[in-house]
Structure 1
Amino acid sequence: MSLTEQLDRLAAFEPAPYPVVSLYLNTQPNQHGRDSYQTFTRKEFKARQQTYPPNTPERDCLNRDLERITRYLETELQPSAHGVAIFACDAGNLFEAIQFEAPVEDHWLFIGDQPHLYPLARVMSQFPRYAAVLANTHATRILVIAQNAVADTQSIEGVKTRRTSQGGWSQARFQRHIENYHLQHVKDVIDALERIVTRDGIQQIVVAGDPVVLPLLREQMPKHLAEKVVDELNVDLAASSNDDVVKAALESMKKLNERTDREKVEAAVGAYRAGALGVVGPDRTLLALTNGQVDELLITASLAKLGTLKRTPAAAMAVANDAGFAQPAIEPVAAGEAAQADVGTVRLADELVTKAQQTGARVTFIEDASLLEPYGGAAALLRYRI
């Protein structure tokens, strides 16, 4: 199951009158080579248990969840994982564990009435699934990169050709012969790429190649694939490992996001000012999400920079459309990074992300917090106005 499918399934979880545990851990060893997350879980699990009276259904449910999470971390966490997210609610038949190759920035523990999805959506935004095409005229690798690691590799082999003619062929005839081999190889690459893009739902492609093959790729690539190409990497194909490619591709994607983040925020603000397809501010954005109007949610990557709902008509209508947000079934508690923000802010962040997932809106985290700070940390591009 893909990360997107897991996020969709978690977003569909109905708020429960029992504790729902959302745990995010950075499982990378510390500077001494030891895991540090056990200290966090031992301390915080005990502290959170004590927030519920003993011998109550809520406390019993939470105890079972924390025991199951502890067993999972002891027996099923892979040594190669850099992070893990676990969601559990015994009463709601929920137990979902996701191990990441990408790092989780800090430990989070949030207990409420539904899964805490803001950090999971942010990992997806930081480390999207994309394809890297590494091509020369006779051999090509296509890498599917997800969570900062190679998730899949496909090799396409062509005919390795000589530089000069031998035998009785004229140089012009020999050159046409070579060009036909090159063209056929490029067509085979594009066919394979088409299948991978369709299978994995790839939205972005980076390419790298020699001076001969790159023009052929551009010429032969159909429009719907060419529109997904976001950069051409400058890497030595013969000397580059998969890790080298991932590093170069990640740097390319970061630069792309810096540019597109600013463009998207400017588009949403401009559209809002013109009374067109844009809204700004948490209240208007939440209302647009509850109405199903949002095509793309823009939300700050810094939880501390997300504003709160104001006493505005938009906020009142949004809350009226979602009674669960106004009156949570379980009083939320937090530890780790989640505790550094107001609980209401954490719930608002979750509500924005969850509503986006439920309505098929894209979610983009704006890494430069200053871009959205004047607008309370949230904005949206709309499908339509009401």
Structure 2
Amino acid sequence: MHTAQELFHRLADFEPDGAYVLSVYLDMSPHMSGKQPWRRISAITLRERFRQIEETLLPRHPALEGFRRDKEKVQAYLEHHAEPWLQGVAIFACDAHQLFEYIETGVSFHDQIMYEPYPDLFQLARLLDEQETTVTAVVDTNTTRLFVTRYGFLDEVAGPDDSPRGYSKRNTTCLNQARYHRKVENKRKAFAREAASAIEDLVLQEGARRVILAGDEVSIPLLHQQISPAIEPLVHEEVLRMDIRTPRHEVQEQIKPVIEYIQREESHQLADTMVERIRANGLAISGMQETLDALKHGQVDVLLLDQQAPLDETQRNELVRLAAQTDAQIENVTNHAAFQEMGGVGAQLRFHHHWV
């Protein structure tokens, strides 16, 4: 199974050659309802959409048998392999090209089932944008707990740990007291260096784009002093106050709004830059057709999309597919008033290009 990033680019380059691709996004979280309190409503949506799509292919459309085989594969996966703790799943199938890929997530998708000439990539692009890999470090003066957030899942990984040997105080004379405090301070600094090194190693190993620090008022300043210049730009400014014994699920709940805030701020900064460049007649554009033309000419550095932009699914998917093919960053922007007034579609450009 591919990572979401690898799958996204593979699907963007996928050429069905006349075949159709089944794209399935499902909200797998259980919903409280009636006699089946943990039933996934997405199962009803999926069944109804399969019926609707099949009706459009009857009686003898060339894609009918391929669709039925893809449908069976999707149903078999959901019945036998989809774990109950999943919050979302995206599936892409094309029987004619032996394509069957899926991504399981800890965040839900909007239920969407399409059978089209190309894979629909918008929600996958949103996942990659909004759920960038994040390293979280919860620290005190002798323990570091490290967490990695991927696609909405939170995993705890081994971090450096230091037992409190050497902290016991046997003598209370002024001289021994001073030596003791120096020893404690040196030990704390050494451990902060070790914790910072472990954080950097994990960031590089996971390709993380964000770092969140949590801990107490003693450990965090020491850790900040040891963070390398390479990692410092990734560190979120706000430090969470969190006890080293905080259960994993509570860690996830506390960092969730922080990750959402970071994403919102990053997207708004990109939208602000786009608006400013347009005012200055710089490297930016807005509008569906203008952005589409720029993508076709490889000009786009960052594609910005508002989920509420007045686009149909085909237009939106074409923008996303072209952005992926030209290695443009794709940014989901929400609640940015100026960007919404401009239609919710725009781009920062790599270069100006004039064509006939």
- Matched residue, 1:198: 204
Counterparts of residues 39-58 of structure 1 (less than 5 Å): 39-58=44-63
Counterparts of residues 251-290 of structure 1 (less than 5 Å): 251-290=257-296
- Matched residue, 1:173: 179
**Which gives a bigger RCO, structure 1 or 2 (Cα 8 Å, sep 6+)?**
1
Number of aligned residue pairs: 346
The separation in 1 between residues aligned to 2:134 and 2:298, in whole angstroms, is 27
Check the 8 A contact 2:26/2:89 in 1, yes or no: yes
Deviations 1:334-384 (A, max 9, x none): xxxxxxxxxxx2111112212222222221111226442222211112233
Check the 8 A contact 1:158/1:181 in 2, yes or no: no
Q: Could you say if the C-alpha distance between residues 159 and 383 of structure 1 is closer, same or farther in structure 2, counting changes exceeding 3 Å?
A: farther
Displacement after TM superposition at 1:232 (Å): 3.1
The separation in 1 between residues aligned to 2:289 and 2:280, in whole angstroms, is 19
Give the RMSD, CA atoms, in angstroms: 2.0
Displacement after TM superposition at 1:149 (Å): 2.4
- Determine whether 1:96 maps to 2:101: yes
The separation in 1 between residues aligned to 2:118 and 2:189, in whole angstroms, is 53
Counterparts of residues 1-386 of structure 1 (less than 5 Å): 1-31=2-32, 32-104=37-109, 106-160=110-164, 165-167=169-171, 170-302=176-308, 305-307=309-311, 345-368=312-335, 370-386=337-353
Deviations 1:148-200 (A, max 9, x none): 32134222102425666425862232222222221221121122212211121
Displacement after TM superposition at 1:239 (Å): 4.7
TM-score (normalised: structure 2):
0.90
Deviations 1:264-291 (A, max 9, x none): 2121011122122222112222222222
Q: Could you say if the C-alpha distance between residues 291 and 83 of structure 1 is closer, same or farther in structure 2, counting changes exceeding 3 Å?
A: same
The separation in 1 between residues aligned to 2:201 and 2:240, in whole angstroms, is 25
Displacement after TM superposition at 1:233 (Å): 3.6
The separation in 2 between residues aligned to 1:144 and 1:270, in whole angstroms, is 35
3-state SS of the aligned residue for 1:279?
strand
3-state SS of the aligned residue for 1:85?
strand
Deviations 1:194-214 (A, max 9, x none): 221112111111101222221
Displacement after TM superposition at 1:229 (Å): 0.5
- Residue segments in structure 2 that go unaligned for 5+ positions in a row: none
3-state SS of the aligned residue for 2:273?
helix
3-state SS of the aligned residue for 1:211?
coil
- Matched residue, 1:313: none
3-state SS of the aligned residue for 1:122?
helix
The separation in 2 between residues aligned to 1:141 and 1:371, in whole angstroms, is 41
> Which shifted more, 178-187 or 75-84?
178-187
Deviations 1:250-307 (A, max 9, x none): 21122233333332212101112212222211222222222222222211123xx234
The separation in 2 between residues aligned to 1:369 and 1:46, in whole angstroms, is 38
